Amino acid sequence: MKLAVIGLGLIGGSIALTLKKNEFADQVIGIDKSEEHCRRALELGIADTIFPLEAGIREADIIVLAVPVDAAAEMLPRILDMCGKQVILDAGSTKVSVERAAANHPKRGRFVATHPIWGTEFSGPDAARTDEMKGRLTVICNPERSDKDALEIVEALYRSLGMNIVYQDAENHDLHAAYVSHISHLTSFALALAVLDKEKEEEQIFRLAGAGFQSTVRLAKSNPDTWVPIFKDNRSNVLDVLNDQIFFLRQMKKLIEMEEYETLHKLLTDANRIKGIIN
């Protein structure tokens, strides 16, 4: 199979490297508006060749759209226009807008909306990793809207990456993703800002940073070019979960202010229930 990857960053690069290694892809055509990304993708073996968009799509059997979610929704109808029997999948963290962008297209069936749940706080071709998606979950949204052969090819692609597949409608996906992914990024960004704000006064504050701080602040290194479009796209769910997060932080603040430590203890014990759910 000939794979075209649009967006040669963390996700597109990792998919390309792994599918080449597994021999699922005979050839990877790289497509990226950044010349620097194209150059690095060739150097790193992510892409075998670089093509402009239309020529790349014409050459490919499968097209992986791995660009920020706003760009994906904007590009998808144009890509479908250019397509014959090719299969297109996206890999974005939100699914409603890309679904909507394809909904009324005569070639909607060639598209499969997916979200592989893997990533790191790093970005660009140099962040791409081989085989790290193995064992993780990927979501395929609204599979009934894809052609049977297109769906089967995308399922085979994800099995080749070693991922487990779940099916979900796009609305549900975006709601859940706000709670178990998007808010983690926002709290991490806010934590970094709070600490960096303080650090202006206190240079040595970072001497005491332990593993706990590092794990909670890690996501604040994430690329705003990726994440602002996600927050924009999933605005209403993200605002709901931000409200919840602020509500609980304010509740903790009030309990500490009022010195109601027994109630605080009950609240934190309640939070401990997460033990039963997340390893």
- Residue list 163-182, contact with a copy of itself (CB under 8 A): 166, 173, 175-177, 179-181
Check residue 127 for interaction with a copy of itself (CB under 8 A).
no
- Residue list 228-247, contact with a copy of itself (CB under 8 A): 228, 231-232, 235, 238-239, 241-247
- The nearest distance, CB 177 to a copy of itself, in angstroms, is 6
Check residue 184 for interaction with a copy of itself (CB under 8 A).
yes
Distances from the Cα of 210 to the Cαs of 121, 141, 200, 217, in angstroms?
A: 18, 39, 20, 11
Check residue 279 for interaction with a copy of itself (CB under 8 A).
yes
120 CB-contact burial (10 Å; exposed 0-12 / middle 13-18 / buried 19+): middle
- The nearest distance, CB 14 to a copy of itself, in angstroms, is 14
- Residue list 187-206, contact with a copy of itself (CB under 8 A): 187-199, 202, 204-206
Which of 23/202 has CB closer to a copy of itself? 202
Backbone angles phi, psi at 2, to 5 degrees: -95, 125
Q: Give the SS3 label for residue 186.
A: helix
Radius of gyration of the chain (CA): 21
Q: Give the SS3 label for residue 86.
A: coil
- The nearest distance, CB 219 to a copy of itself, in angstroms, is 5
Which of 51/179 has CB closer to a copy of itself? 179
Rounded distance between C-alpha atoms, residue 214 and residue 211, angstroms: 5
Which of 55/246 has CB closer to a copy of itself? 246
- Residue list 28-87, contact with a copy of itself (CB under 8 A): none
104 CB-contact burial (10 Å; exposed 0-12 / middle 13-18 / buried 19+): exposed
- C-alpha closest to that of 66 among 121, 128, 2: 128
Check residue 258 for interaction with a copy of itself (CB under 8 A).
no
Check residue 130 for interaction with a copy of itself (CB under 8 A).
no
